[in-house]
Amino acid sequence: MTLIDRFLRYVSIDTQSDAAAEGSPSTEGQVVLLRLLADELQQMGAADVRMDEHGYVTATVPATRGCEDEPVIGFLAHVDTSPDAPGAGVKPQIIERDGDTIITSDGTTLLGADDKAGVAEIMTAVEWLLAHPETRHGRVRIAFTPDEEISRGVDRFDVEAFGADFAYTVDGGTLGELQYENFNAAGARVVIRGVSTHPGDARGKMVNALRVAGEFDSLLPVDERPETTEGYEGFFHLMRVEGSVAAAEMEYIIRDHDRVRFEWRKALLEEVAAWLNARHGAGTVTVATEDQYRNMREVLELHPEVVERARRAMRAVGVEPVVVPIRGGTDGARLSFMGLPCPNIFTGGADFHSLSESVSVGAMRKAVEVIVEIVIKSGVG
């Protein structure tokens, strides 16, 4: 099966995750694709193929003779697609453009390149390695995970059982992207208790929770929002507002690459709440924050050789590394803090989570070459 055929097969399955659902995987479509991948790995001749009760599919490419003592390298990709846009009934469009082949949807759904491009690339690399036993390399571990898009991707992942010394998520964007730092992330819930009275007799009595919600948001920096920031700039992002005069609730996500600025952002929410409570009465506004993930650079700075291996592999296959920060998170960020150093490499995709999502087939093929190069260099010595 070619790389393109494999990718088109995977995107035909609706695997959107669902944050409202319980269990893992959160949707049946993910189960369908995960079982398909396990079957394909068995047919390729991979070892230790397993799908556990949480939906994780793992497998092994055994070390070749004489390379059994080399480090064990892992590669991971997630099978779910974002719930931010329609994901069922994908109709891929294949376009020849400037010497490359570009795949898009028809504009009514996601394509699913995030992260089925990464899944297809890993599977293609595994097939190549198993078909070339003469190529020297150490043991390789593979994992496909559910529910990354709803931040549950590695909730139940057993790092010790996976048994890799380090790993790479294949979940990046355009050609050459190499990522080893991401946002520190937290969620914040702001609860506002108002006082409802008849509007004709409200003077000095009413506290309109909806207006207090507006005040709260207006007191945060207006130029530190997703729509006004880029690169290493952090932000406050208002995700949801619900309520009435009597009560309102707001949800924010807080993001910053810098740990000090990240802690300042959380503290600022508390300061705003305190100011509003002084203005409208004690207990009017309460804030609860919860950390979600941390910047994996903290871990990967202790393992520079893991990033350098990917950098060398890219250059060996004619791809110049483009080191960019992740303006979000990946399973690799959490895995790094779980004891598995795990930077992120490109897939060739663009405009993820949108109806204009696309992927470059040329970049996908280079991603396969990079994966293979990372692996075979473990057998050189």
Between CA 104 and CA 281 the distance in angstroms is 54
Rg (CA), the chain: 23
In 3-state terms the chain splits into helix, strand, coil percentages (rounded to 5) of 35, 25, 40
Q: Write out residues in the chain with pLDDT < 70, as ranges.
A: 378-381
Between CA 243 and CA 298 the distance in angstroms is 39
For the chain, the structural domain boundaries read: 3-182+295-379, 191-293
CATH class name, domain 3-182+295-379: alpha beta
Residues 142-199 pLDDT 10s: 999 999 999 899 999 999 999 999 999 999 999 999 999 999 999 999 999 999 999 9
Cβ density class 187-218: b for 16+ within 10 Å, e for less: ebebbbbbeebeeeeeeeebbbbbebbebbbe
Instruction: State the DSSP H helix or E strand holding residue 140, giving kind and residue range, or none if neither.
Output: strand 140-145
pLDDT recorded at residue 379:
61
Q: What is the 3-state secondary structure (H, E, C) of 177-195?
A: EEECCECEEEEEEEEEECE
Residues 261-286 pLDDT 10s: 999 999 999 999 999 999 999 999 99
Between CA 18 and CA 214 the distance in angstroms is 30
Active site residues: 80, 148
Q: Which of 293, 302, 306 is nearest to 343 (CA)?
A: 306
pLDDT recorded at residue 328:
85
Between CA 134 and CA 302 the distance in angstroms is 33
Q: What angle, 0 to 180 degrees and rounded to 10, lies between the N-to-C axes of helices 361-376 and 113-131?
A: 50
From 3.40.50.80, 3.30.70.270, 3.30.70.360, 3.40.50.740, which CATH number describes the 191-293 domain?
Answer: 3.30.70.360
Place of tokens 């994780």: 56
Name residues whose C-beta falls within 8 Å of residue 327's C-beta, 6 or more positions apart in sequence: 182, 183, 230, 231, 255
pLDDT recorded at residue 302:
97
